[in-house]
């Protein structure tokens, strides 16, 4: 019982570590978010939307990463949303974890999505796609 | 409130060992003791954390927010209590299932630094729309 549990947890840990924070293509219908949905203005070229919650360890580090990227790349806005106060959005976008980062293009279409703390290079890569470079 | 991440990790390791021992020995008393530890940790008086502070005197390189791990200790307490009910009523699948679930989460935290209990927050909030 102990062994089975630890093996299962190790597998889960390895999968989580590999997937965590990696921006993925959004499958199915591409969602579009408006500044009304976000209660904030969209960036001129792209927007990084971060869903956070009160009991989230990696949210602070994620905020730092996204703020750095926003400073580096002109025309990009960083919008942070408290998941608990926007459960409507959380449900419609099917967000299960915090942080979840959505990369939106200039018109608000969700181009990429990462759950878990993303690496800076990955965010910059995903932004390249969003601004069409 | 801020916490030393090393102390949190140490507590997760000890919790993993204790829960594994519960499964091996089938001791409800040991699980009850762990439940008390979970309960104390919710209020920021983690016995394992105190042991760590007694051994390691160097200051941590950085601190982290104490709220997420405390919430996770609450989730751990819930599973420990369900496990205890299982042991006391001798419903073995309940006892083993709940204890194994707590062990799963404690090991993920100890080995990977991943807080499964913290992730439960949003999922629970999504399931409880009325609580808003």
Q: Which of B119, B128, B130 to mutate to test the interface with A (most CBs of A within 10 A)?
A: B119
- Per-residue pLDDT averaged across B12-21, rounded? 98
Omega cis (within 30) before A121: no
What domains does chain A contain, in order, with CATH numbers? 2-130 (3.40.30.10)
Confidence of residue B70 (pLDDT cuts 50, 70, 90): very high
pLDDT exceeds cutoff 70 at B122: yes
Q: Are B37 and B47 in contact, with CB atoms under 8 Å apart?
A: yes
* Chain centroid to CA B6: 15
- A32 vs A74: CA distance, rounded Å: 22
Q: Does A25 touch chain B (CB under 8 A)?
A: no
Question: What value of ipTM does the predicted structure carry?
Answer: 0.87
Residue owning tokens 């204790």:
B18
What is the reported pLDDT for B130?
57
More confident residue, B126 or B12: B12
Q: Dump pLDDT digits (tens) for B23-68.
A: 999 999 999 999 999 999 999 999 999 999 999 999 999 999 999 9
Distance from CA of A56 to the nearest CA of B (A): 6
Provide the residue count of chain A. Answer: 133
Q: Report the run of H or E that residue A104 belongs to, with start and end.
A: strand A100-105
Range of the domain at B108: 2-131
User: Which residues in chain A touch residue B103, judged by CB atoms under 8 angstroms apart?
Assistant: 2, 5-6, 9
pLDDT exceeds cutoff 90 at A15: yes
């Amino acid at each position: 019982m102990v062994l089975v549990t630890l093996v299962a947890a190790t597998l889960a840990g390895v999968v989580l570590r590999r997937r965590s924070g990696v921006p993925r293509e959004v499958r199915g219908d591409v969602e579009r978010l408006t500044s009304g949905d976000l209660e904030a203005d969209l960036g001129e070229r792209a927007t990084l939307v971060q869903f956070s919650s009160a009991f989230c360890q990696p949210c602070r580090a994620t905020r730092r990463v996204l703020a750095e990227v926003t400073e580096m790349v002109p025309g990009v806005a960083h919008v942070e949303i408290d998941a608990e106060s926007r459960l409507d959005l959380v449900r419609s976008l099917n967000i299960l974890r915090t942080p979840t980062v959505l990369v939106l293009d200039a018109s608000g279409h969700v181009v990429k999505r990462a759950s878990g703390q993303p690496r800076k290079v990955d965010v910059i890569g995903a932004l390249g796609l969003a601004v069409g470079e | 409130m801020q916490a030393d991440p090393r102390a949190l990790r140490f507590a997760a390791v000890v919790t993993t060992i204790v829960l594994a021992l519960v499964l091996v020995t089938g001791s409800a008393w040991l699980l009850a003791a762990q439940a008390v530890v979970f309960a104390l940790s919710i209020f920021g008086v983690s016995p394992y954390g105190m042991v760590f502070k007694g051994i390691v005197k160097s200051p941590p390189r950085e601190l982290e927010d104490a709220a997420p791990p405390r919430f996770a200790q609450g989730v751990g307490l819930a599973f420990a209590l369900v496990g205890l009910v299982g042991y006391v009523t001798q419903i073995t699948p309940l006892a083993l299932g709940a204890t194994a679930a707590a062990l799963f989460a404690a090991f993920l935290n100890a080995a990977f630094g991943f807080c499964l209990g913290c992730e439960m927050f949003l999922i629970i909030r999504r399931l409880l729309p009325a609580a808003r």
